[in-house]
Amino acid sequence: MPTPGARGRALRVAITGGGPGGLYAAALLKRLDPDREITVWERNAPDDTFGFGVVLSDETLGGIEHADPAVYAALQRHFVRWDDIDIVHRGTRHTSGGHGFAALGRKRLLEILHERCRELGVDLRFRAEAPPPDRLAETYDLVIGADGVHSTTRETYADVFRPHITSHRCRYIWLAADFALDAFRFEIAETEHGVMQLHGYPYAGDASTVIVEMREEVWRAAGFDALDVQESIEHCAKIFADALGGRPLKSNRSTWTTFRTVVSERWSHGTVVLLGDAAHTAHFSIGSGTKLAVEDALALVACLEEHPDVPTALHAYEQERKPVVASTQRAARASLEWFENLALHLHQPPRQFAFNLLTRSRRVTHDNLRLRDARFTEAVEREFGCPPGTPPMFTPFRLRGLTLRNRVVVSPMDMYSAVDGVPGDFHLVHLGARALGGAGLVMTEMVCVSEQGRITPGCAGLYTGKQAEAWRRITAFVHRQAPGTAIGVQLGHSGRKGSTKLMWEGMDEPLDEGNWPLVAASALPYKPYSQTPRELSRAQLTDIREQFTAAAWRAARVGFDLLELHCAHGYLLSGFLSPLTNRRTDNYGGSLEKRLRFPLEVFDAVRAVWPEERPMTVRISATDWAEGGTTADEAVAIARAFAAHGADAIDVSTGQVVAEERPEFGRSYQTPYADRIRHEVGVPVIAVGAISSWDDVNSLVLAGRTDLCALARPHLYDPHWTLHAAAEQGYEGPGVVWPAPYRAGSRRPQTGRTDAPKPRLSLGR
Give, as one character, the DSSP assignment of residue 592.
H
Among 552, 569, 566, which Cα is nearest to 656's? Answer: 569
Give the residue ranges of DSSP H helices in 645-720. 671-681, 694-702, 713-717
CA distance 11 to 348: 58
Contact 20, 54 (CB under 8 A): yes
Give, as one character, the DSSP assignment of residue 223.
T
Measured CA angle at 652 (ends 284, 400), to 5 deg? 125
**Region class of 13: left (phi > 0), else alpha (psi between -120 and 50), else beta:** beta
Among 353, 339, 321, which Cα is nearest to 87's? Answer: 353
CA distance 299 to 226: 45
Integer CA distances (angstroms), 55 to 100, 184, 260, 325, 706, in order:
11, 11, 20, 17, 32
β-sheet bridge partners, residue 226? none
CA distance 100 to 57: 8
Q: Which H or E run contains 297? A: helix 289-306
Contact 246, 218 (CB under 8 A): no
CA distance 525 to 141: 52
Contact 508, 526 (CB under 8 A): yes
Contact 654, 621 (CB under 8 A): yes
CA distance 407 to 706: 10
DSSP characters over 80-108: EEE--EEEEETTEEEEE----EEEEEHHH
SS3 state of residue 328: helix
673 as an active site residue: the answer is no
AA letter at 425: D
Report helix angle 289-306 to 58-67, nearest 10: 40
AA letter at 607: R
Measured CA angle at 573 (ends 570, 578), to 5 deg? 55
Give the residue ranges of DSSP H helices in 91-213. 106-120, 133-139, 152-156, 158-161
Contact 93, 87 (CB under 8 A): yes
678, exposed or middle or buried, with CB in 10 Å at 0-12, 13-18, 19+? Answer: buried
Among 163, 212, 205, which Cα is nearest to 186's? Answer: 212
524, exposed or middle or buried, with CB in 10 Å at 0-12, 13-18, 19+? Answer: middle
Q: What backbone torsions phi and psi does residue 173 show, to the nearest 5 degrees?
A: -135, 135
Neighbours of 141 (CB within 10 A): 21
Q: What backbone torsions phi and psi does residue 247 show, to the nearest 5 degrees?
A: -80, 160
Neighbours of 29 (CB within 10 A): 25
Q: Which residue in the list 172, 463, 571, 673 is annotated as catalytic? A: 571
β-sheet bridge partners, residue 492? 448
Q: Which residues are the active-site residues?
A: 571
